[in-house]
Amino acid sequence: MTFNASHSGTINVPATTDHLHEIREFLRERIRAAGFSEFEENGIVLAVDEACSNLIRHAYHNDPTQSVEVSLAIESDAVTVRICDTATPFDPSSAEVPDMPTYLQERRNGGLGILIMRRVMDMIDYVPCGPTSNRNMLVLTKRRTA
């Protein structure tokens, strides 16, 4: 399959959960057009949705004056999604993995977003803002299955 600019792109939305559907649609149409399986597409969209939802709810507190930028790059063998923000840095790899038996016993609601990202994506990299950039960047990569 030939990959072109329609398989990549960037979307910038206000930091409210009302705009999560725009991010999902943006991802779906490009991933589908690039020929990834429905299973791969659903996993990638779910992982990115969880990352953006966490960012919007916990870092931006649903503040529409803030924004979330999602960039997508699709190659023949992988999808790379970059989520950029200007919130207080938070590295998802520093979060503890929930103990699932306890989680289920307590009938908790939420708190599985980072676990989902770790299980679905092949690589998760986090670059906090620093001296050269005022933006944090979460990079999620999923390799195409055979």
pLDDT in tens, 108-137: 666 667 888 888 999 999 999 887 888 999
pLDDT of 115? 84
In the prediction, which pLDDT does 1 show? Answer: 46
**29, 54 contact by CB (below 8 A):** no
Strands, DSSP E only, in 15-135? 67-74, 78-85, 123-127
Rounded to whole angstroms, the Cα distance separating 10 from 23 reads: 10
Contact criterion met (CB below 8 Å) for 96 and 129? no
Q: What are phi and psi of 124, to 5 degrees?
A: -130, 120
Mean pLDDT across 28-44: 91
pTM: 0.86
Residue count (the chain): 146
Report all structural domains of the chain as residue ranges with CATH numbers, in order of start. 5-143 (3.30.565.10)
Residue 27 structure tokens: 């991802």
The contacts found for 52-56 with CB under 8 angstroms, 24 or more apart, are 52/20, 52/23, 52/83, 53/17, 53/20, 53/113, 54/92, 54/113, 54/114, 55/15, 55/83, 55/85, 55/87, 55/138, 56/15, 56/16, 56/17, 56/20
Nearest Cα residue to 142 out of 53, 31, 10: 31
Percent of the chain whose predicted confidence (pLDDT) is above 70: 85
CB 61 within 8 A of CB 117: no
Q: DSSP class of residue 42? A: H
